[in-house]
Structure 1
Amino acid sequence: MGAALSLLDVGLTSHLQRQLWQGSPINDPDSDIVSSGYRTLDLVLPGAGWMPGSVTELLIEESGVGEIRLLARALRELTVHKGRSVIFVAPPWKPNLTAFRAMNIAVNKLVWVKASEDQTLWAAEQSLKQEGIGAVLIWLPEVRPEALRRLQVAAQEAKSLAFLFRPLKAARQSSAAPLRMVCKPILPANAQTMNRREWMQAVMLEIDIIKRRGPLLDKPLQLSLPLQLPALPEHIRRAHLGRKAREVKHVVDSGDIAAFIARSSQAALDALGIGEFDFASSNIDE
């Protein structure tokens, strides 16, 4: 396929999901549902969690707004407690094992598929066909409606989680994905009085569900996804923690939040010589 598999040694060795939904699609839990790890989010997700056998679209303005931290608890459940593999197809960054370990995700259950844009859909479909797969995360900026239908069918057949990352402009387009969510970072109210570290801890993620089985939300959710340094070497960690609380102030426009987070994460990673990733803590419950 011209795509390369990487990230540790992972062993990888396909009946349509039920088509008829009965009763309330919001309050009809399924034993295969995977909790998001956030109570307020689970309450508005069909089945009270992430639904296997369907594509979930996450529409983001730029990679790094918190989309991986949003999924981190589900990925931990899949890799640690269920012993299933998670495949990343064509992510725009190099996966960072240090960050995954900091989120208590089993890195030996992760697979990184490097694929060009014209190979991404095929690679995602093939990934969903593998045995032992818990979730497939796919980055596909441009995709035709018929391709989305193919991906949805592949997810139904596999009964695995499928998360598709697309730009915000795709919200105006039709999609076969049963669940579509617009994810935007939110500035804290007192951002102008915060230094960079405080600001990054306080940034929240606004989630607007624009398509789901059941009625739409009255208003978007707001989730707290604090950004923390992962398990960095001790001397780097001490250097960060030793800075005075008001040493440096950063004021940014809401349109620049994602780029700011990405640059800040990259600065820490450059010190380690590893790739950029979306850091997170794993002990916050909403």
Structure 2
Amino acid sequence: MKCVSWTLVVLLALLLARTWSAVSGYDVVADVHPSRAGLEPDLSHLLGTDALGRDVFCRLMRATDAFVVPGIGAAVVAVGLGGTLGTLAGWVGGWTDRTMSAAGGLPSTMPRFILVLLLATIFSPSSLVLALGCGLAFVPVVTTEVRVRVSDMRRKQFVIAGLMHGLSITQVLGRHILWSTCRHVLARLALQAAGFFVVVETSLAYLGDIGVQEPIPSWGNMVASGLVDGRLHWVARLAPAVALWLVLAALAQLERGLQNGEERVG
């Protein structure tokens, strides 16, 4: 219970940060004051300032734009596409099963990170492309998990009875199979896809060549700046790394809770 409460607090803080960055009106790009570079944390600058005199707290909040919405997009792609392919494969069976399983397994022919890099190189390193790549990277595992469950459940007596009593296939799949047996695994894999996007986005921004570029803030390029600029206060150096750790830890805790619920259902 404590883990769940702690996780919800962190995720709520992340949501508030995303909202704050949209309504604060602070320009994290244009508000440059070299005379204020490297200030220590105070009431005016809660986490101090960076090498250009920009408020680190404001940039930390604004940097959530780089992964919150795209991370949700990656989860939607993974669950939407993988869930659809897995449902069709498990319910219909036969050649449809083989075709859908093969289509869903295509992204697994290469490592996930390499797949995302390949798409970013071919198209562009935009948030949309990265979200699509991260979502596609999780399609194979979602397809497999859903296929196995749907294939097993469609032979159950209560499913056959429901169809004989006039329930539509959509009702049986949606209410009695996907919701009752797949909701925990789909939510868990959605969290994995979102967490993977956070790792990919911050990693690419840290490296600097493909990810978010300065002066647009990302936790990745903020960590990189803190490592090379000796003028930053230690709080300003640690803040983006700690924020990243908290978000990933919160996602991991939620995933563990969903996995426990999945085991109870199973």
The TM-score bracket by the shorter chain reads under 0.3
TM-score under structure 2 normalisation?
A: 0.26
Q: TM-score, normalised by structure 1?
A: 0.25
More helix by share: 2
